[in-house]
Amino acid sequence: MSENWDVVIVGAGIVGAACAWQCALRGMRTAVVEANFIGGGATAAGMGHIVVMDDSPAQLALTHYSQTLWQGLSKSLPNDVEYEACGTLWVAADEEEMQEVHRKREVYTSAGVATEVLAGPTLADAEPQLRNPLAGALLVPSDAVLYPPCAAAYLMSQARRLGAQLYRRKVLSARAGKVRLDDGTQLTATRILIASGADACELIPGLPIKKRKGHLVITDRYPGFVRHQLVELGYLKSAHSSTADSVAFNVQPRKTGQLLIGSSRQFGAEDSVADPQILAAMTERAAWYLPKIGKLSAIRVWTGFRAATPDKLPLIGPWPEDDSLFLATGHEGLGITTSLGTARILADHLEGVTTAIPAAPYLPARFARSAVHV
Ligand SMILES: Cc1cc2nc3c(=O)[nH]c(=O)nc-3n(C[C@H](O)[C@H](O)[C@H](O)COP(=O)(O)OP(=O)(O)OC[C@H]3O[C@@H](n4cnc5c(N)ncnc54)[C@H](O)[C@@H]3O)c2cc1C
């Protein structure tokens, strides 16, 4: 059996689902192939923080652009997506971290992102459960949170409403315009998009993507315990580290009243079992910032795998080693945030039009063998 499409997308995580919607919106005959559940991979494991980050100018551009797209979409999102513009407080423990607050503010301001510097007493008023005193914080009011698997399901439902077809199968191979499924079906497509997250290397061996394990804990319902997404400024060191295991204080208020407690980063840990030592380190870190958090009940812990690239930027665009192949993967800890921006850039590439934001930093060509060997 053979079927023919303009674009076949491998993976219905939040990135594949967003791309499917964008392709369908632009009139492409779109098929999506998902081996498990819509939004069931890293998307289901993610925290759902829609956050502007400034590791690099390219990361800032993509996160900021994507956040504005989420803001535009927010009123259409169904209730189960639990979108809430709670803002982020980047918490400074001491005066050295306050320097980072001011540096960050300058960068955000120059990018047009509004922020506010809170001194220690103002921070204590804003978040009474935080340890007191702390030096202060940077408030980013435009940051938001949502529930990622329902966001992916919504995006996929929009794509299907416009005619995209979903195949619940595993893709065994994808190259030269042909996608072979595990029931023997072969789909042919002008373009194939690999959006299979951390598993993308199974279809394109040699892609520079490593799995980076993360743990999260969710509590019972304690409405109002915290009001903003709270992140220690040390989180940036944790996210930057390319080798060591790391944990950082990162707590999110859910619309349900639950608290999501993160977060950890590990390379080389490929099984999904929760590690008690990592969990203990995470909860101790959280208790340093929120002394009463230890009195709350945790109801579940889980792990997931971020798809990490060497330069901490995703791979979005054509794969130079096969004219039919495009990539949208490698989003590490920011794929929920950047899914909508990724989808616009990717669809611009597919249509051959100028991309919504400058796309060069995300081009997969930077890692292709042919590009490296030129
Ligand atoms: C602990 C943790 C916390 C995070 N917190 C945040 C956060 O707060 N904010 C944020 O922006 N990001 C966060 N992230 C990152 C975010 O979750 C990911 O970047 C994002 O979910 C990646 O989406 P994706 O669609 O690329 O991949 P996935 O969600 O992994 O989807 C890939 C899909 O492809 C399917 N697939 C794979 N291989 C095949 C195949 N051969 N055939 C068919 N289907 C296939 C899989 O079944 C899966 O459904 C976090 C991640 C983790 C692990």
Q: Does residue 118 sit in the same domain as residue 216?
A: yes
- Residue whose CB lies within 8 A of the most ligand 1 atoms, among 9, 199, 312, for a mutation test: 199
In the prediction, which pLDDT does 261 show? Answer: 98
CA of 308 relative to ligand 1 center, distance in Å:
11
Beta pairing, strands 171-175 & 144-145? unpaired
Residue 102 covered by a domain:
yes
The percentage of residues in the chain with a pLDDT greater than 70, rounded to a whole number, is 96
Instruction: Evaluate: CB of 248 within 6 angstroms of ligand 1.
Output: no
In the prediction, which pLDDT does 122 show? Answer: 98
CATH number at residue 317: 3.50.50.60
Residues 6+ apart with CB under 8 A from 157: none
H or E stretch covering 294: none
In the prediction, which pLDDT does 372 show? Answer: 38
CA of 129 relative to ligand 1 center, distance in Å:
32
pLDDT at 348 exceeding the cut of 80: yes
* Nearest-10 Cα torsion for 330, 276, 291, 248: -20
Binning pLDDT at 50, 70 and 90, where does residue 291 land?
Answer: very high
CA of 43 relative to ligand 1 center, distance in Å:
4
pLDDT at 90 exceeding the cut of 80: yes
Q: Does residue 287 sit in the same domain as residue 339?
A: no
Q: Which of 280, 308, 336 is the last residue of a domain?
A: 308
Residue 372 covered by a domain:
no
SS3 category, 342: helix
Residue 153 covered by a domain:
yes
| Residue owning tokens 């019972």 | 220
> What is d(CA 340, CA 307) in angstroms, rounded to the nearest whole number?
17
Q: Does residue 15 sit in the same domain as residue 154?
A: yes
Instruction: Evaluate: CB of 290 within 6 angstroms of ligand 1.
Output: no
- Residue whose CB lies within 8 A of the most ligand 1 atoms, among 34, 171, 231, for a mutation test: 34
Cβ pair 187, 181 in contact under 8 A: yes
Q: Whose CA is nearest to atom 13 of ligand 1?
A: 333
Q: Which of 277, 308, 339 is the last residue of a domain?
A: 308
Q: Does residue 132 sit in the same domain as residue 122?
A: yes
In the prediction, which pLDDT does 300 show? Answer: 98
Judged on CB neighbours under 10 Å (0-12, 13-18, 19+), 66 is buried
In the prediction, which pLDDT does 370 show? Answer: 45
Residues 6+ apart with CB under 8 A from 356: 65, 341, 344, 345, 348
Q: Does residue 106 sit in the same domain as residue 175?
A: no
Binning pLDDT at 50, 70 and 90, where does residue 2 land?
Answer: low
Higher per-residue pLDDT: 275 or 237: 275
Binning pLDDT at 50, 70 and 90, where does residue 106 land?
Answer: very high
Instruction: Evaluate: CB of 234 within 6 angstroms of ligand 1.
Output: no
Residues 6+ apart with CB under 8 A from 44: 37, 148, 149, 304
> What is d(CA 339, CA 16) in angstroms, rounded to the nearest whole number?
8
Q: Does residue 225 sit in the same domain as residue 130?
A: yes
Mean pLDDT (whole number) for 138-161: 98
Q: Whose CA is nearest to atom 20 of ligand 1?
A: 335
> What is d(CA 332, CA 329) in angstroms, rounded to the nearest whole number?
9
CA of 45 relative to ligand 1 center, distance in Å:
8
pLDDT at 43 exceeding the cut of 90: yes
Domain range for residue 358? 2-45+148-208+311-367
In the prediction, which pLDDT does 247 show? Answer: 93
Specify the ligand 1 atom closest to the Cα of 203: 41
Please state the domain count of the chain. Answer: 2
Q: Whose CA is nearest to atom 12 of ligand 1?
A: 334
Q: Does residue 168 sit in the same domain as residue 289?
A: no
Instruction: Evaluate: CB of 325 within 6 angstroms of ligand 1.
Output: no
Specify the ligand 1 atom closest to the Cα of 17: 25
Instruction: Evaluate: CB of 214 within 6 angstroms of ligand 1.
Output: yes
In the prediction, which pLDDT does 234 show? Answer: 78
CA of 251 relative to ligand 1 center, distance in Å:
20
Mean pLDDT over the full length of the chain: 95
Binning pLDDT at 50, 70 and 90, where does residue 3 land?
Answer: confident
Cβ pair 71, 142 in contact under 8 A: yes
Q: Which of 308, 340, 355 is the last residue of a domain?
A: 308
| Residue owning tokens 């289901």 | 44
Binning pLDDT at 50, 70 and 90, where does residue 98 land?
Answer: very high
pLDDT at 13 exceeding the cut of 90: yes
In the prediction, which pLDDT does 245 show? Answer: 87
The model's pTM is 0.97
Digit-coded pLDDT (tens) for 179-210: 999 999 999 999 999 999 999 999 999 999 99
pLDDT at 373 exceeding the cut of 50: no
Residue 73 covered by a domain:
no
Q: Does residue 22 sit in the same domain as residue 131?
A: no
Q: Does residue 296 sit in the same domain as residue 203?
A: no
In the prediction, which pLDDT does 270 show? Answer: 87
Digit-coded pLDDT (tens) for 218-253: 999 999 999 999 999 977 666 666 667 899 999 999
CA of 334 relative to ligand 1 center, distance in Å:
10
Cβ pair 116, 142 in contact under 8 A: no
In the prediction, which pLDDT does 42 show? Answer: 98
Mean pLDDT (whole number) for 74-102: 97
